[in-house]
Structure 1
Amino acid sequence: MTADRPALRLAGVSRTYGTPPNPVHALRAVELSLAAGTFTAVMGPSGSGKSTLLHCAAGLDEPTSGQVLLDGTPLTHGSETAMTKFRRTRVGFVFQQFNLLPTLTVWQNTTLPLRLAGREIDRAFVHEVLERTGLGDRLRHRPDELSGGQQQRVAIARALVTRPSLIFADEPTGALDTATAREILGLLAESVHTMGQTVVMVTHDPVAAAYADSVVFLADGRIVDRLHRPSAQAVAELMTLLGDRRRPRAVGE
């Protein structure tokens, strides 16, 4: 990847659901470029298009129009089989639900994407990732022997071991207590600063967003604002303004 090529670019991306008489415009001609090695939070009121943006950017959903490029490569450049392989090697996912297989150990869950892709397991690197995520002494444990925070750490380790260019996180701390959520957010930030990953995280929490380098705000399927070096207070204030804009005004108000 060249220095001037963004890790992720959305070029005029729109996503419409429903039928022509009653279309639902989840995204409207979104333009977004994110540099490599950055941590971006995506926020907005309910129904603003946050999850749709994440799913289109990650290749889990196909735009109605426009183009998504990862490291300069269009997400629609090949067959579905080729695209699945492309995503496995370039993209990592962390969701609110941990999606761990209950019969597999921490080590087996972490290395599962490598085995599914038929890739050689770099045992030293996997050990390094598991140590970094605080799981070095939990390798043989199964999910039901772990706390919620530890299970989310496994999900992050699983995303990191494939050495993806991008990690997409959808409300990754929504099911966690405050202290554990801060640890998980710190891990995501560390993956950016020490491993060079690009992280895109959807969240509704201003405190979580403050861990990011910048915050992109959506409303009605459009990017309406952006904050760099955000504070939780600044994020909360802007979210309040966006909520007020969407709130129906009472008669005489």
Structure 2
Amino acid sequence: MVPEISSWPDAEALACEHMREQLGIDGARLTNPGADGGVDVVSASDVAQVKFEKTPTGRPAVQRLKGEATARGVRGLFYSLSGYTSHALKFGNETGLALFQFNRDGEVSPVNGLAGQLVVGARNAPVRSTEEDGSQRNAALKVASWPFRNGRWYFYIGLLSWGMLAFVPFAHAAIRLHRRSVAVLAVLYAMLPVGLCVGVSFLPETSKNQVAEPGMSILMWSIFGLAALGCVVLVRIRRAVYQRALGDELRWSW
């Protein structure tokens, strides 16, 4: 019998136990208060935050968890005693957060569709042999090593196109992460080809109506340098997009 949930440590312990026992998340453990980015329960594949409050959880708290989960490249789960506001529910549904609600009797129930899928998936998970698990995992790792599955193409496309297509990975990441700042970068890098055309029009011409070689070289290398700088910026963005996808692929293939 689950003891009455009367404090926030009780609530966090309940969430941790729910993740391990009901959702089948191996390695779920409690964090030290205030020492792990504001999350209360962590595992190799998930982070969870718990709110033991008398008022419904609002969007800001849910949004902070989403940011932390994205930065770590894992899935986010939220547990709330008093439920969620309409804005928090909408944000959770749009960004792929699993929202749960618990009561003082220790009962946990899913609030949105993703949370319900996790519960159903854990109940219907087949029992596999160790050998079969190993072969599935190796197959997933092999597929994940392809450039288009692990995000290496983020770097190739900008450099090989000499900066002309540098905006493509930023646009892809903006759609996947729903980040306005990344979308702004996509727009800025989409302007590189326009900048090239404008720059060429201002370069002096030779007697044969050809652009002077030194000026063209400086312009092209400048654009290539901006593309290389974009690759540096993309390192963390790529990790946020593809590490979570890789973790989900390995986890659900078992």
TM-score by length of 2: 0.26
Which structure would you say has the larger Rg? 2
Give the number of the structure with larger relative contact order, counting CA–CA contacts within 8 Å between residues 6 or more apart.
1
TM-score by length of 1: 0.26
The structure with the greater share of residues assigned to helix is 2
